[in-house]
Amino acid sequence: MTRVLAVDARAPLAASIEEAAGLLRAGELVAFATETVYGLGADATQADAVAKIFAAKGRPQSNPLIAHVSSVEMARAWAGAWPEVAEVLATAFWPGPLTVIVPRSDRVTAAVSAGLDTVGLRVPEPLVARAVIEALGRPVAAPSANRSEHVSPTTAQHVLDDLQGRLALVLDSGPTGVGIESTVIDVTGSVPCVLRRGPVSLAALRAVLGAVDIAEQHVDHGAPQASPGQGLRHYAPDVPCVRAEVSSYRGLPGDGVVSVGHAVAGAHALLEPEDAARELYAVLRQLESVGVERIVVLMPPETPQWAAVRDRLIRATVVAAP
Ligand code: AMP
Ligand code: MG
């Protein structure tokens, strides 16, 4: 059975934090909100606990997890090495939705990194998440708390819809604020390289680092990839989901239409990039649950402000037949 514990996002009870940390210490799975999406957490030093994450999600063993830490000091202590660039990024963006790939230390169990010699670290912003990690005193491996390849969860109910009975506890602190997964940047090479676009934009990264590469996005799933977040189909709803340009869309009866960046009559409109990121996954799950035959996403413009949302939309959809 999965227990759900409501917690005040700004003033959680010490007993609730201790209960979550105690379960993690005992090798159990606990879901909690980060600012991006809900995470399915396990003690990153316990191989058996980390194995439960892969089993609960049905996640391929080749897909590494992000290790969440409560402070920059904890990141430095648990990284195999801590490059200057990592320090610059941590200072500029932590706590926040940026995952930094650094060399892995042996103290983090190998399964977290899916056998790679690197590890993704991040300090999440919400007080509850940091308090739980702090109470455990060790990094918490936590991918999104959804079934593998389904839409990521932005509420505790989404977690239950996907994983009820497969984890010990969900800390329910309300909907997440950002709504899409963290930006992932690898700082182990000569030039920092963005592996997954996200809430921290390329422009923001370049403003503090100068040169930043971007890995080719949307490579084929199945092909070897530095970051599994690059897989083409990811985060997708359970009903057929297609994308189209506003100008070319021809509606079919049974379509559930989400219009992103444009107001379109009869469509669920997500007009601004930040609001769209926050609400997108809940809207997709909602359309799934009301039983539309097909979800149609009308795409936002190809501008930098929409880059992260476009990335997630492209992963969730296939191009509509003309
Ligand atoms: P999720 O938390 O479900 O969005 O998945 C974690 C994502 O973090 C993966 O899909 C990767 O994109 C990324 N990631 C975590 N660790 C690494 C790593 N060591 N190297 C490259 N990417 C990583
Ligand atoms: Mg995920």
CATH of the domain at 100: 3.90.870.10
Residue 41 has what pLDDT? 98
Which residues are in the CB-under-5-Å shell of ion ligand 2? 143-144
Close Cβ partners of 23 (under 8 Å, ≥ 6 residues apart): 29, 30, 168, 169
Residue nearest to atom 10 of ligand 1 (CA): 229
The partner residues of 184 in beta bridges, in order of sequence, read 99, 196
Lowest mean pLDDT among 57-61, 232-236, 245-249: 232-236
Residue 235 has what pLDDT? 65
Mean pLDDT of 234-252: 86
User: What is Dmax (Cα atoms) for the chain?
Assistant: 57
pLDDT in tens, 140-176: 999 999 999 999 999 999 999 999 999 999 999 999 9
Atom of ligand 1 nearest to the CA of 146: 3
Residues with CB under 6 A from ligand 1: 63-66, 99, 101, 113, 116, 118-120, 143-144, 181, 184, 195-196, 226-229
> What is the number of structural domains in the chain?
2
Residue 236 has what pLDDT? 74
Q: How confident is the model at residue 234 (pLDDT cuts 50, 70, 90)?
A: low
- pTM score: 0.94
Range of the domain at 31: 3-214
Interhelix angle for 156-163 vs 273-289, to 10°? 40
Whether 40 and 135 map to the same domain: the answer is yes
Residue tagged 């090798």 (tokens) = 27
Tokens of 153: 């969860």
Whether 48 and 183 map to the same domain: the answer is yes
Whether 107 and 210 map to the same domain: the answer is yes
Atom of ligand 1 nearest to the CA of 143: 2
Q: What is the Å distance from ligand 1's center to 184 Cα? A: 7
Assess if residue 89 is contained within a domain: yes
Atom of ligand 1 nearest to the CA of 104: 19
Assess if residue 260 is contained within a domain: yes
Whether 106 and 203 map to the same domain: the answer is yes
